[in-house]
Amino acid sequence: MLSVTVTENKISHRICGKYTALGIPMQSVVEALHHCSANLHVDVCVSMVDTESIENGKLRVEDAVKDLDGIIVPGGFWKQRVGRKK
């Protein structure tokens, strides 16, 4: 978990997507959340979930979003995804 302590108000968000274990593709989203948290005087905790673990049945959606204030699903490669489904 990444955290910036600026106040007693805390929120917890999870970023969902592929390749979240690398962290690098989502770094700009994480940094944006931390900049917002400083501006809004809120302590934001950010964690990641690999959506392939949900697709493969290793993780239930209910467990992935449990006890969260919000989820973020960054844009992806829609055409690539649709092409895979054919």
Q: Is 90 exceeded by the pLDDT of residue 60?
A: yes
Reported pTM = 0.67
More confident residue, 73 or 7: 73
> What is the predicted pLDDT for the residue at 1?
52
Q: How confident is the model at residue 86 (pLDDT cuts 50, 70, 90)?
A: very low
> What is the predicted pLDDT for the residue at 81?
52
Q: Are 46 and 79 in contact (CB under 8 A)?
A: no
H/E/C letters for each residue in 19-43? CCCCCHHHHHHHHHHHHHHHHHCCE
More confident residue, 24 or 7: 24
Query: Where do the domains of the chain lie?
Result: 2-85
